[in-house]
């Protein structure tokens, strides 16, 4: 089973594309990626969501500071990545943070 996210906006072309066509496009896309031969999508469910990305709450920074301050007391615990840093990081930022964490550990 695969779960895929197709980014779109409410009522745009992708949003209004028929489910069967989306599934066909997914199948074509997966086959183009070529990581597996002859992928056939047997079935699929398409769900459309208007607002899916989280928003920080107003006092987010104070809450985050408290959590990070608490964990900073532990000399052998390193918080990194999206969950670890309690930040809505994207992949690039996670990779940078991961590299920084490795440097911190190695240079300790």
Interface residues toward ligand FAD, by CB under 6 A? 5, 81-83, 89-91, 94
Nearer to ligand FAD, 39 or 94 (CB): 94
Nearer to ligand FAD, 37 or 53 (CB): 53
Return all residues near 50 (Cβ < 8 A) that are at least 6 apart. Answer: 10
Residue 10 CB neighbour total at 10 angstroms: 10
Return all residues near 12 (Cβ < 8 A) that are at least 6 apart. Answer: none
Residue 63: CB minimum distance to ligand FAD, A:
18
Residue 38: CB minimum distance to ligand FAD, A:
26
């Amino acid at each position: 089973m695969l779960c895929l996210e197709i980014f779109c906006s409410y009522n745009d072309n992708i949003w209004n594309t028929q489910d069967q066509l989306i599934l066909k496009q997914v199948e074509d896309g997966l086959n183009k990626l070529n990581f597996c031969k002859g992928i056939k999508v047997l079935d699929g469910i398409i769900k459309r969501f208007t607002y899916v990305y989280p928003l920080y709450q107003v006092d987010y920074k104070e809450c985050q500071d408290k959590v990070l301050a608490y964990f900073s007391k532990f000399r052998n615990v390193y918080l990194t990545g999206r969950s670890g840093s309690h930040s809505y990081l994207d992949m690039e930022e996670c990779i940078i943070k991961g590299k920084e964490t490795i440097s911190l550990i190695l240079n300790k």
